Structure 1
Amino acid sequence: MNIIIVDDDSLVAGALKTILEINPDINITATGSDGQEACELYRRYQPDILLMDIRMKNMSGLEASALILKEFPDARILLLTTFSDDEYIIKALRLGAKGYLLKQDYASILPALRAVFSGQTVFGTEIVARIPQMLHSSPSFDYNACDINERELRIIELIANGYSNKEIASELFLSEGTVRNYLSSILDKLQLRDRTQVAVFYYQHK
């Protein structure tokens, strides 16, 4: 797993590099110190995951995420910050970031990286508990009008609750391939890009 770390605190970046490289399946390809450098490093190395701070000088992690995801829609970006700020979390979700973790929760970083690498979206426990309240701003949505059937709606609910395709398949007694087909159909019908946007859409229209 090739990872780029970007943090304007060189001590934090160095500590993360040291901690993560103890694991034989992880290679820290490069480190950077601001959003502009994150964009340049991503273009050069195209890592499996970009682990990036949010608040940085010159260009923030959110600004860099927007630029990178515009150029590389499949980029896996895991945001790491000391600030549990609702506005940042919502922006990260809407941008399509694959995760948002608090730096204080060091124990969760390695499992989060592996989960993101496997295709999941991850958020710290404290953040997950607050997402519904943060995004609950619109009246109930008529999924029938978008031709979303009961099975697809159930899959949307499970995605919003953090289930992976494998877990959804187990819950609904389906194959993972069938779940992927349902997800593709859901994305097409709701005109969304990925499962993170599905979760955001669900909580906004709950």
Structure 2
Amino acid sequence: MKIVIVDDDNLVSLSLKTILEASGEVTVAEMGKDGKDAIALYEKHQPDVLLTDIRMDTMTGLEAAETILKKYPDAKILFLTTFSDDEYIVRALHLGAKGYILKQDFESLLPALKAVSNGQSVFGSEVVGKLPGFLNQQEKFDGSAFGITAKEMELIELVADGLSNKEIAEQLFLSEGTVRNYLSSVLEKLELRDRTQLAVFYYKNLN
């Protein structure tokens, strides 16, 4: 797995590089120190995962992620930070980042990188625990206004619960192909990018 590390603390970057490469499963293509580096290094190396801090001089990791995801919608970005600020988490999720874990959860970093590289979304336990509380702040969503059917509403809830397409198919007595079609339809109707944004949407509007 090829990654790029971006952190304004060079010691942190070097430590991460040493530990991750020692696993034999990760190659660090290059390291950067701010958001501008993140953009340039992503362009240069097209890594499997961009591992980046959030608060950095010149340009933040969130600003860099927004720029990268506009050009590369399939980019896999994992935020590793000491900050669990609600505002940062919400923005990271809405941008389409694949993960947000705290540096305190360092032991989960390698598994998180593997999961993100495989297309999964990963959020540290502290972040997951915050989701229902800080996203459920608006009036309830009227699905009918968007043409969302009762079956699609069930699917949205199961996606938010973290179920895979196979598990959803078993739960709703549908084929996996039908579940994929439902999911594509829901994402299109709600103008969302992926399952992560759909889960955020659920907690914000439906839970």
Q: Shorter-chain TM-score category?
A: over 0.9
User: Is the CA contact (8 Å cut-off) linking 1:49 and 1:113 kept in structure 2?
Assistant: yes
Describe the shift of the 1:116–1:169 C-alpha distance in structure 2 as closer, same or farther (beyond 3 A): farther
Q: Secondary structure at the match of 2:55?
A: coil
- C-alpha distance in structure 1 between counterparts of 2:67 and 2:31, whole Å: 18
Q: Deviations over 1:63-84 (max 9, x none)?
A: 1111111111111100010011
Describe the shift of the 1:176–1:7 C-alpha distance in structure 2 as closer, same or farther (beyond 3 A): farther
After TM superposition, list the pairs within 5 Å mapping 1:1-206 onto structure 2. Answer: 1-172=1-172, 174-206=174-206
Task: Tell me the TM-score normalised to structure 1 length.
Answer: 0.92
- Structure 1, unpaired ranges of 5+: none
1:35 Cα deviation after fit: 0.5
- C-alpha distance in structure 1 between counterparts of 2:166 and 2:107, whole Å: 24
Describe the shift of the 1:24–1:181 C-alpha distance in structure 2 as closer, same or farther (beyond 3 A): farther
Q: Secondary structure at the match of 2:179?
A: helix
Point out the more displaced range, 96-105 or 164-173.
Answer: 164-173
Task: Tell me which amino acid in the other structure corresponds to 1:188.
Answer: E
Point out the more displaced range, 111-120 or 68-77.
Answer: 111-120
- C-alpha distance in structure 2 between counterparts of 1:13 and 1:167, whole Å: 38
1:87 Cα deviation after fit: 0.9
- Structure 2, unpaired ranges of 5+: none
Q: How large is the RMSD of aligned CA atoms in angstroms?
A: 1.7
1:169 Cα deviation after fit: 4.0
- C-alpha distance in structure 1 between counterparts of 2:174 and 2:110, whole Å: 29
Q: Secondary structure at the match of 1:116?
A: helix
User: Is the CA contact (8 Å cut-off) linking 1:120 and 1:164 kept in structure 2?
Assistant: no
Q: Deviations over 1:31-53 (max 9, x none)?
A: 11111000000011111110000
- C-alpha distance in structure 2 between counterparts of 1:109 and 1:153, whole Å: 33
